[in-house]
Amino acid sequence: MAKQNDRPTLATVASRAGVSIKTASRVLNGEKHVAARTAEKVEDAAAELGFRLNSTARRLRAGGRSPYIGVVMSDGDDPFQARLFTLLEAELSRIGLRPVVTVTADDPDRERGFLDECLANDMTGICVIRSHPDAARFYADAASADVQIVSFDPSTAGPGVDLIAGDEELAGRLAATQLLNHGHISLGVIGDHSTSPITTARLAGIQSAFAGRSDVGWRAYMREDAHDLASAKNVVAAWLGSRSAPSALITLSATLTQGAIDACRRLDEWPALVGIDDFPAAELLDVTVIDRDVQSMVAEAVRRLQDPPGSGAGGGPRRGSARVPVHVIARGSGEESPDK
């Protein structure tokens, strides 16, 4: 009899039922042509021992694919990452796949360890929602191991990685243009992780909107070191408390937008505001945002995760990168004039 703390095996079940391992396997895998009495003994033994077949192992032995997808996030509290993951989980579930998630807290070593675990467990694919810039080189190694990798983060771009991203430079340009069109020439720009390709592209878009406009002041208010809600709140509070506060703000992520709003609420000062990336409370707070079509991004990612590793649909060539359009959602905060 198996010890209480032992995990029952197929051999244990066969021994309890008094049959061969092959017969026990046939019964538990639902094969036909097994005597009813024999099948009953095997099923009773499995129930008594608490034995459960490893469905993943069985699928792999049969030449199938693992039902698991490794998912990398850097911050579970980030509104964009959380929104994207919620949609991704639902879309994966629809086709019988399940996410195994790590939140790296911007630790590249933790990210590398998770990738190694994904490869060791033969996961069907890896989906990167947000990566640490220093971890980008790890994905080339993972791709060479013949696993399908889809990423929403441009920092992971490279051979073997399908990149699905928004037009980040356009997002920055739209944010700046929205405020310029409403008469603002004094703008505060709050960024995070200046080494990130996303931040770099958004800043380039903002700068392109200001090209040729010598009357626009923004460099004096440029901050690239606000990495979370608290630091964004402190930056905005300092600006609004000064005699030369900007009349408008551009925040380069949903987390920073929330920090800016918190500072405005506490000081009861409300400059015009355009944030990049939507978040759940933005509509309630009438916050204007520049957003990507996240639903389309997720749908495309899941389609690619179903492709054979290293190829496109049907064994054809890889699909490569995909650029998702961005658009302005005008709700009021970005449409205020400097006079008001």
Predicted model pTM: 0.77
The two three-digit tokens of residue 139, written as one number: 């994905």
Does residue 274 fall inside a structural domain? yes
| pLDDT of amino acid 292 | 93
For residues 180 and 228, membership in a common domain is answered with: yes
> Is the pLDDT assigned to residue 266 strictly greater than 90?
yes
pLDDT surpasses 70 at 26: yes
CA–CA gap between residue 152 and residue 139 (Å, rounded) = 13
Most confident of 213-217, 317-321, 334-338: 334-338
Question: Residue 194 domain-assigned?
Answer: yes
45 and 78 housed in the same domain: no
Size of the chain in residues: 340
One-letter-per-residue 3-state SS of 53-120: CCHHHHHHHCCCCCCEEEEEECCCCCHHHHHHHHHHHHHHHHCCCEEEEEECCCCHHHHHHHHHHHHH
CATH of the domain at 212: 3.40.50.2300
Question: Is 15 domain-assigned?
Answer: yes
Q: Taking 50 as the threshold, does the pLDDT of residue 313 lie above it?
A: no
Residue predicted with more confidence, 158 or 78:
78
Short-list 106, 115, 122, 133, CA closest to 60: 122
Residue 318 lies in a domain: no
Distance CA 155, CA 145 (A): 20
pLDDT score recorded for residue 203:
94
pLDDT, tens digit (0-9, with 9 covering 90-100), for 180-198: 999 999 999 999 877 789 9
255 lies in some domain? yes
| Single-letter amino acid code for the residue at 159 | P
Which domain range does residue 147 map to?
A: 65-166
The three-state DSSP-derived secondary structure of the chain is CCCCCCCCCHHHHHHHHCCCHHHHHHHHCCCCCCCHHHHHHHHHHHHHHCCCCCHHHHHHHCCCCCCEEEEEECCCCCHHHHHHHHHHHHHHHHCCCEEEEEECCCCHHHHHHHHHHHHHCCCCEEEECCCCHHHHHHHHHHHHCCCEEEECCHHHCCCCEEEEEECHHHHHHHHHHHHHCCCCCEEEEECCCCCCHHHHHHHHHHHHHHCCCCCCECHHHCECCCCCHHHHHHHHHHHHCCCCCCCEEEECCHHHHHHHHHHHHHHCCCCEEEEECCCCCCCCCCCEEEEECHHHHHHHHHHHHCCCCCCCHHHCCCCCCEEECEEEECCCHHHCCCCC
In the prediction, which pLDDT does 308 show? 65
Least confident range from 1-15, 68-82, 170-184, 310-324: namely 310-324
Q: Is the domain of 157 the same as that of 44?
A: no
Q: Work out the pLDDT band at 6, boundaries 50, 70, 90.
A: low
What's the CATH code of the domain at 26? Answer: 1.10.260.40
- Judgement on whether residues 183 and 219 belong to the same structural domain of the protein: yes
Do residues 189 and 229 both lie within one domain? yes
Residues 207 and 281 in one domain: yes
189, 241: one domain? yes
Q: Are 230 and 280 contained in the same domain?
A: yes
Q: Answer yes or no: is 304 within a domain.
A: no
Question: Going by DSSP bridges, is the β-strand pair 322-324/288-292 parallel, antiparallel, or unpaired?
Answer: unpaired
Q: Indicate the residue type of 124.
A: T
Q: Which residue type is seen at 56?
A: T
Q: At what angle do helices 36-49 and 10-17 cross, to 10 degrees?
A: 120
177 with 156, same domain: the answer is no
Contact between 288 and 274 (Cβ < 8 Å) = yes
Tell me: the pLDDT tens digits for 105-152? Answer: 989 999 989 988 888 777 889 999 999 888 888 887 777 667 889 999
Number of domains observed in the structure of the chain: 3
Q: Do residues 258 and 200 share a domain?
A: yes
Indicate if 96 and 199 belong to the same structural domain: no
CB 148 within 8 A of CB 125: yes
Q: Find where tokens 């400097």 sit.
A: 338
Mean pLDDT of the chain: 87
- Listing from the earlier edge strand, what are the strands of the sheet with 161-166? 98-103, 68-73, 125-128, 148-151, 161-166, 322-324
Phi, psi of 329 (to 5 degrees): -110, 100
Please name the residues in contact with 76: beta carbons below 8 A apart, sequence gap of 6 or more. Answer: 82, 103
Residues 46 and 70 in one domain: no
Residue 38 clears pLDDT 80, i.e. is over it: yes
